Amino acid sequence: MRRVIRTKPCIPSSDTTWIKVAWDDILTTGNFIQGKYVKLLEERFAEYCGTKYAIATSSGASALEVAIRAVILDENYLILQSNILRSLGPPSDNYIIVQSNTFPASVNSIIRAGCRPLISDIDPHTLSISYKIFLDIVKANSRIGAIMLVHMAGLINPDYDKIKNYCDEHGIMIIEDASHAVGSKIHNISTGNLGDVGCFSLFATKIITSGEGGIITTNDDNIYKRALILRNHGCVRNAGELEGVDYGVTCTDATSNFRMPELSAVIGASQVPHIDEFVDHRNMISDFYMSHFKSDKFKGRIITPFEKLDIRQSWWQYIIQLPDNTRLNRDEICNKLFTEFGIETANAYYPPCHAQPAYKEFGYGSNSNKFSGCEVLKKHIALPMHSTMSIDDALYVINSLDKLI
């Protein structure tokens, strides 16, 4: 049976020689941690995003946690936005808004950083928190320190401009969860440079990868300095007279080891120059999907993903929505796509975070009519999409769906 995989990393063959030489260099020198290849990855990534700094971490989840912790100053909270000084009290008394349809790592990072998640509903068309939902939340809660903008499936929040303007005026921090969105742009500005701090995942299924890894981007000197400490157990090495003598450390924050190994950084550094190439390919596959699913043949049978002309999407996922009148439900269609046609698919974060049992202590953990926008998620299918996918495979997916829907 033919097999169409849903996602996979792309390591160009032209890069494998350099990767092997760099790995041999690491094995020979024994410099496995925080060496020149981590620095190279950080320099390349910051240059691509147009930010002053990039900080490599062990995962996208650790990038989020370090980024949130980096903006907590002693017992006060989030005071770095637009030079507006805000003291909101201990972090545990303050909220970070995050939309419900995201991977639990987004919510977990807020909790692990000592803050409280305020999980929001979404606009069912854009799959993002809308400006109206955001405004209703901030007007009802005076202890909002930040919003975590999740660029779902690679789409920058369509209400970004309105949300950004409000945050600038009211001293609310913007933390980008850009795990899906490396290469996405709005007004020709890259993700990672749209808020106060950006966070990316370099997991094996993402657009670029280091196997496991993450990246933080920022233009703020204070966030950068704190992030360097926080990714290293919260410790700073004590200064001394001689370079070859260890004078111990001073631990300023109780964190953990969030460092990226040099071996992983080599792969990540080799990937950065290919970001635009990978995203262009994904846009080609997306355009091909769109041209068929928007045709008369599929009219009323498939609802295509939201698009906005001034946003360049990375298309980490291509998510279709089933109408109410399909003869098979979502799970039945996905099962048949795999068993009868060899096509891998995924759902798009269903159940969403507000229904996850881990968050019961914060007032969530079950479905609620407060999250009516998230109901569309049970009708979603993420189709195969990756940076080496062929048009022939995309056509096979389209024709297979035609037989089931």
Element (H, E) at 167: helix 160-170
Nearest to 258 by CA among 75, 148, 109: 109
**Amino acid (one-letter) located at 68:** I
Helix axes 104-112, 60-70, angle to 10 degrees: 40
Predicted confidence band of residue 336 (pLDDT cuts 50, 70, 90): very high
CA–CA distance, 51 with 220 (Å, rounded to integer): 9
Q: CA-based angle 136:140:144, to the nearest 5? A: 95
Percent of the chain's residues with pLDDT above 90:
80
Q: How far apart are the first and last CA of the chain?
A: 21
CA–CA distance, 316 with 184 (Å, rounded to integer): 10
CA–CA distance, 218 with 403 (Å, rounded to integer): 48
Q: What is the pTM of this model?
A: 0.93
Q: Would you say 352 and 372 are in contact if contact means Cβ atoms under 8 Å apart?
A: no
Predicted confidence band of residue 25 (pLDDT cuts 50, 70, 90): very high
Give me the CATH code for the 276-404 domain, please.
3.90.1150.10
* Two tokens, residue 279: 């995203």
Per-residue pLDDT at 250:
85
Nearest to 270 by CA among 208, 184, 206: 208
* Two tokens, residue 211: 């196997």
CA–CA distance, 257 with 236 (Å, rounded to integer): 13
CA–CA distance, 395 with 291 (Å, rounded to integer): 11
Q: How many CA atoms lie within 13 A of 237 on its CB side?
A: 11
Per-residue pLDDT at 85:
41
CA–CA distance, 192 with 218 (Å, rounded to integer): 7
CA–CA distance, 289 with 209 (Å, rounded to integer): 25
* Two tokens, residue 201: 């995942």
Per-residue pLDDT at 215:
98
Q: What are residue 185's DSSP bridge partners?
A: 190, 312
Cα dihedral 277→197→268→201 (10° resolution): -90
Per-residue pLDDT at 89:
53
Domain segments of the chain as ranges: 13-273, 276-404
Per-residue pLDDT at 91:
56
| Weakest-pLDDT range from 77-91, 94-108, 124-138 | 77-91
Q: What are residue 382's DSSP bridge partners?
A: 319, 346
Per-residue pLDDT at 78:
41
Q: Would you say 38 and 86 are in contact if contact means Cβ atoms under 8 Å apart?
A: no
Predicted confidence band of residue 9 (pLDDT cuts 50, 70, 90): very high
Q: Would you say 214 and 62 are in contact if contact means Cβ atoms under 8 Å apart?
A: yes
Predicted confidence band of residue 93 (pLDDT cuts 50, 70, 90): low
pLDDT digits (tens, 9 = 90+) for 147-173: 999 999 999 999 999 999 999 999 899
Q: What are residue 251's DSSP bridge partners?
A: 235
Q: Would you say 173 and 138 are in contact if contact means Cβ atoms under 8 Å apart?
A: no
Average pLDDT (307-321) is 95
pLDDT digits (tens, 9 = 90+) for 371-400: 999 999 999 999 999 999 999 999 999 999
- pLDDT over threshold 60, residue 79: no
Average confidence score pLDDT of the chain: 92
Name, in order, each residue with C-beta under 8 angstroms of 67's C-beta and a sequence gap of 6 or more: 175, 197, 198, 199, 216, 218, 223, 227
CA–CA distance, 17 with 99 (Å, rounded to integer): 42
CA–CA distance, 110 with 360 (Å, rounded to integer): 15
More confident residue, 254 or 106: 106
CATH architecture under which domain 13-273 falls = 3-Layer(aba) Sandwich (3.40)
Average pLDDT (265-275) is 98
**Which SS3 state, helix, strand or coil, does residue 98 take?**
strand
Predicted confidence band of residue 76 (pLDDT cuts 50, 70, 90): very low
Per-residue pLDDT at 246:
79
- pLDDT over threshold 90, residue 77: no
**Amino acid (one-letter) located at 144:** I
Average pLDDT (47-65) is 98
Q: Would you say 114 and 77 are in contact if contact means Cβ atoms under 8 Å apart?
A: no
- 50 burial (CB, 10 Å; 0-12 / 13-18 / 19+) is middle
Per-residue buried b or exposed e for 77-109, using 16+ beta carbons within 10 Å of the residue's own CB: bbbbbeeeebebeebeebbbbbbbbbbebbbbb
pLDDT digits (tens, 9 = 90+) for 234-258: 888 888 777 777 778 888 888 899 9
